[in-house]
Amino acid sequence: MNKKLTIFCGILLALALIAGGCGKSTERRSSAPDKERKIVFVFKLVGIPYGNVCERGAREAAKDLGINVEFLGPAKGGDVVGQIRMIETQISRGVDAIVISPNDPNSVKPVIAKAMKRGIKVFTWDSDAPDTKRIFYVAAADDIGIGEDIMDMLAKDIGGKGKVGIMSGGQGALNLNQHVEGVLKGLKKYPKIKLAKPIIYNDEQPQRAQSSVAGLLQRHPDLAGIACVNSPGPPGAARAVIAAGKVGKVKIWGLSLPSENRQYIKDGVVNGLILWDPAKLTYLTAKLVNDYLDGRKPVDGMVVPGIGKLKVSPNGIIIMPGVVITEENVDRFDF
């Protein structure tokens, strides 16, 4: 009997040890690693070449940084309500950070405040919303200064005299309005150059860019040049100028991708572009946001490999270097 009791107690002890071991194993499984960091970019519009290049930069950042980076945006240009709805969804998801290129800087003010109150860090890139609680804005150029630079280039090519038109994208986008402001500021330096009114808007639509310039050419048959401050502008203007038989008579300068304008530049239809690599702009933004979430803030003069030296102002504006694209160097760029 004692022998049986001893065997029985041994079995109970073994079962207890096994149960204890199982308990420890379950505890290890429940101690899952921290959730993957999520940074979400909400652009003005998806599906356009500029946005596609930005998205490529977001994907590259996700891979290199080892985090989850998403890229979203409305399906049509100027969709303020749709963009806000997307931001609201990210707040509900509880993502770590939201980076916005606002269609309208004032409209996103309440939703940015809501996100920040919930502990979600909000930043802007490509276009700013300065009178909000956003932490910092990453730009590829001084938004007013680059408009002035475009006007200087255009003025040189038309010999400092004649009529020039201005084409923008959406009427509510702060960065585009500041580009237009810069063009108008530059225009004041050239008393023999007159503005061909009205300023036209293409809402980021390539076909509308072409038809808008076609209408401007009909209104001003003596047009000498056009300054385009958004990506669909120069190629749309080029198609309109070709259709009107005015290649070489109407000079075109603007902000746009070299890939959209390469042949137009080589054919002398588009005279030049001032831009940056949108993939690098988005990559840089993701890196700076990720660093911020890790407690590292951007500082003036810091050098980022592959991008260059950054300008960081006290008001939270970060500027990366840009580039002038002409026939001489257009083949160097693959974006």
Q: Residue range 11-29: average pLDDT?
A: 36
The tally of CA atoms less than 13 A away on the side-chain side of residue 119 is 5
* Structural contact between residues 98 and 43, judged by C-beta atoms closer than 8 angstroms: no
* Structural contact between residues 40 and 99, judged by C-beta atoms closer than 8 angstroms: yes
* Structural contact between residues 207 and 180, judged by C-beta atoms closer than 8 angstroms: no
Which of 198, 190, 185, 109 is closest to 148 using CA atoms? 185
Q: Residue range 19-36: average pLDDT?
A: 38
- Amino acid present at 314: P
* Structural contact between residues 274 and 257, judged by C-beta atoms closer than 8 angstroms: no
The pLDDT, as a whole number, for residue 35 is 65
Higher pLDDT, 17 or 192: 192
Domains and CATH numbers, the chain: 38-140+278-320 (3.40.50.2300), 143-275 (3.40.50.2300)
SS3 state at 223: strand
Q: Tens digit of pLDDT for each residue in 74-114? A: 998 889 999 999 999 999 999 999 999 999 999 999 999 99
Q: Tens digit of pLDDT for each residue in 290-315? A: 999 999 999 999 999 989 999 999 99
What is the rounded CA–CA span in Å between residue 70 and residue 85?
16
Q: Residue range 218-244: average pLDDT?
A: 98
The pLDDT, as a whole number, for residue 187 is 98
pLDDT greater than 80 at residue 160:
yes
Average pLDDT over the chain, rounded to whole? 90
Q: Residue range 134-151: average pLDDT?
A: 95
